[in-house]
């Protein structure tokens, strides 16, 4: 499978190039993209990722890059990912979309593109987090709102630009599904000042940022006299990158549609 790496000079872009190189030829990096004016234009995508040169120079020409590939690995920025979804769909490509912080408008554009394309979208492409989401759904179902309050804490590196993290939102959605409630209605994404007591049945979020933390998430179910905490610690971005490559290879044989990482991993 020929793949285009978007944001090839970024933290995830470099990890994606390394993850593709681990597939023994099942997938290959055939194109790599950065924006116009990037310092990385013309650099070799392999060298940029700390590997031997691949003979794939980083380009800013999206159309030329899309013409060379069967699939796109996209961990970039919300508006750009929404735009790429339409352009990849018009060529019938697989689009693995890991970008977080998507607006409702971005989400709508991506859903529309999926009628003609195979899009795998997830706020977290790791096996561990997607298993955690299934466990959270089960725990939220078993420990009901009148008895257990549900809170989600996440911490990421100082460069992260969106909050709560895509993973925290994914875990919140799993909790809401377990409780049979509407996620948007139940979420409390910020608390500040005189908030009054906690409203029963809400799903609270707390965001921490600092240093080089790759990604830590905990879901706490707090009851009277006991609490249950389900956690995931990411030590290396390769867990996300390997998941993305696995998703691309999986989606190659699927009909058009919007898929999640839980579909890919059989955890849906």
Using CB under 6 A, pick the residue from 7, 46, 71, 123 that binds ligand LZUJQKHR: 123
- C-beta separation of 201 from 145 below 8 A: yes
- Angle (deg, nearest 10), helices 104-113 and 78-90: 10
Q: Does 243 contact ligand LZUJQKHR by CB under 6 A?
A: no
Minimum distance of ligand LZUJQKHR from residue 215's CB (angstroms): 3
Element containing residue 184 per DSSP (H, E):
helix 183-186
C-alpha separations of 86 from 74, 100, 105, 142, 254 in Å: 13, 17, 13, 40, 18
Bridge partners, 57 (sequence order): 44
Q: Does 57 contact ligand NDP by CB under 6 A?
A: no
Q: Is 160 among the catalytic positions? A: yes
Using CB under 6 A, pick the residue from 18, 156, 179, 242 that binds ligand LZUJQKHR: 156
Whose Cβ is closer to ligand NDP: residue 149's or residue 154's? 154
d(CA 180, CA 43): 50
Quick note: the x/- pattern for ligand NDP over 92-131, rule CB under 6 A, is: ------xxxx--------------------xxxx------
Whose Cβ is closer to ligand NDP: residue 125's or residue 143's? 125
Q: Is 121 among the catalytic positions? A: no
C-alpha separations of 242 from 12, 107, 173, 175, 190 in Å: 11, 24, 24, 26, 32
Tokens encoding 58: 């980083």
d(CA 41, CA 35): 8
Quick note: the x/- pattern for ligand LZUJQKHR over 157-186, rule CB under 6 A, is: ---x----xxx-------------------
Q: Does 130 contact ligand LZUJQKHR by CB under 6 A?
A: no
State which of positions 206-245 bind ligand NDP (CB under 6 A): 240
**From ligand LZUJQKHR, ligand NDP, none, interface partner of 156 (C-beta below 5 to 8 A by class):** ligand LZUJQKHR
Q: Does 154 contact ligand NDP by CB under 6 A?
A: no
d(CA 5, CA 31): 6
Which member of 40, 95, 121, 156 is catalytic?
156
The angle formed by the CA atoms of residues 90, 238 and 15, to the nearest 5 degrees, is: 60
Which of 71, 42, 69, 35 is closest to 56 using CA atoms?
42
Residues that bind ligand NDP (CB under 6 A): 7, 9-13, 33-35, 38, 75-77, 80, 98-101, 122-125, 166, 240
Which parts of this chain interact with ligand LZUJQKHR (CB under 6 A)?
A: 100, 123-124, 156, 160, 165-167, 215, 234
The catalytic site residues sit at 156, 160
């Amino acid at each position: 499978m020929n793949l285009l790496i978007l944001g090839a000079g970024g933290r995830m872009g470099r990890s994606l190039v390394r993850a593709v190189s681990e597939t023994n030829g099942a997938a290959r990096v055939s194109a790599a993209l950065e924006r116009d004016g990037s310092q990385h234009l013309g650099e070799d995508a392999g060298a940029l990722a700390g590997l031997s040169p691949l003979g794939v120079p980083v380009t800013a020409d999206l159309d030329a890059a899309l013409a060379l590939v069967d699939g796109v690995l996209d961990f970039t920025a919300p508006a750009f990912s929404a735009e790429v979804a339409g352009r990849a769909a018009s060529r019938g490509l697989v689009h693995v979309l890991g970008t977080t912080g998507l607006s409702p408008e971005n989400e709508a554009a991506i859903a529309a593109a999926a009628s003609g394309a195979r899009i795998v979208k997830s706020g977290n492409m790791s096996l561990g987090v997607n298993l955690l989401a299934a466990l959270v759904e089960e725990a939220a179902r078993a420990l009901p709102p009148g008895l257990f309050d549900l809170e989600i804490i996440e911490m990421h590196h100082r460069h992260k630009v969106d909050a709560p993290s895509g993973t925290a939102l994914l875990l919140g959605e799993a909790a809401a599904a377990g409780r049979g409630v509407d996620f948007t209605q139940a979420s409390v994404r910020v608390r500040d000042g005189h908030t009054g007591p906690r409203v029963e049945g809400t799903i609270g979020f707390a965001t921490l940022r600092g240093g080089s933390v790759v990604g830590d998430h905990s879901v706490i179910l707090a009851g009277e006299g006991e609490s249950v905490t389900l956690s995931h610690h990411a030590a290396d971005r390769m867990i996300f990158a390997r998941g993305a490559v696995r998703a691309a290879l999986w989606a190659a044989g699927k009909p058009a549609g919007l898929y999640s990482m839980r579909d890919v991993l059989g955890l849906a």
